A = this chain, B = another copy of it.
């Protein structure tokens, strides 16, 4: 299995604090050492960093922890291989373009007897169930909406149906973003916290590090952090319900559409 970390904000924010704790699980405090990756949306571009080394030994991960790259949507992943060997092409997050936007996807889980028919628009580079599911997702999404970029609500409705279908094959916790919203689906285990004014101090579970967010934010800032297992020991993390899909925009979960 693997672990997921994502962040959605209303102003470009660095993920140094959360990633520092998260990456410890990539070989030190936990066993997810079969590669890692992170994608930062920056305007219309994406900074996509993947490495088949354990996160705790990777010079690229060290760079992520020191460079304070700022982004409104970040998707990160640490891998413990279930399907597919340890290699660069099997590292999450995966990335494909549609409607002139990058779409970024990371998965935690294991899909069995999953063999969707791919028409050829999107094909996997590697041999994970995760990338196969993502290619099928992008194919289905672009077939459904054709020439027109769907709205956030349209993507949400699509993902509800799509996730239910794929989850029949196993565990399908995933994060997906096109830079406009962060879509999060929970099969089994995911937690989130929304930080906003008044900001307080948070302390990591996996490393000896605390940050007083009130000193590095403005009252207008809002940040949502989504992760498999809570990162801090003094904040209120909310567990996702199995089968739940949440959409984060500007640092908070959108209300359920009716």
A residues lining the B interface (CB < 8 Å)? 42-52, 59-60, 63, 66-67, 87-91, 96-97, 99-102, 120-126, 147
Task: Given A59-B63, A59-B67, A121-B121, check contact A45 B126 (CB 8 Å).
Answer: yes
- Report Cα–Cα, A120/B146, bound state, in Å: 9
A44-B87, A63-B63, A88-B45 given; A125·B147 CB < 8 A: no
How many subunits of this chain does the assembly comprise? 2
Complex: chain B residue closest to A125, CB-CB: B44
In contact, B97 and A46 (Cβ under 8 angstroms)? no
Q: Which residues of B contact A43 (CB under 8 A)?
A: 87-89
Q: Which residues of B contact A45 (CB under 8 A)?
A: 50, 52, 87-91, 125-126
The 10 nearest A-B residue pairs measured at CB: A45-B88, A45-B89, A100-B123, A44-B89, A42-B88, A44-B125, A43-B87, A59-B67, A120-B147, A44-B126
| Cβ contacts under 8 Å, A87 to chain B | 42-45
Known: A42-B88, A67-B59. A123 touches B147 (CB 8 A): no
Pair B50/A50 contact, Cβ less than 8 Å: no
Task: Give the distance in Å from the alpha carbon of A150 to the alpha carbon of B30 in the complex.
Answer: 44
Would you call B97 and A47 a contact (CB within 8 A)? Answer: no
Give 10 A-B contacts (CB < 8 Å), ordered by A residue: A44-B87, A44-B125, A44-B126, A45-B91, A45-B126, A46-B88, A59-B66, A96-B97, A99-B120, A99-B123
Q: Considering the complex, give the chain B residue whose CB is closest to the CB of A85.
A: B43
Chain B contacts for A52, CB-based, 8 A: 45
- What's the Cα separation between A122 and B42 when bound, in Å? 20
Question: Once the chains are docked, how many angstroms separate the CA of A76 from the CA of B121?
Answer: 27
Complex Cα gap A52–B44 (Å) = 13
Contacts of A46 in B (CB 8 A): 88
A97-B123 contact, Cβ under 8 Å, with A43-B87, A63-B63: yes
What's the Cα separation between A50 and B39 when bound, in Å? 12
Closest to A62 in B: B63
Give chain B nearest CB distance to A151 CB in angstroms: 18
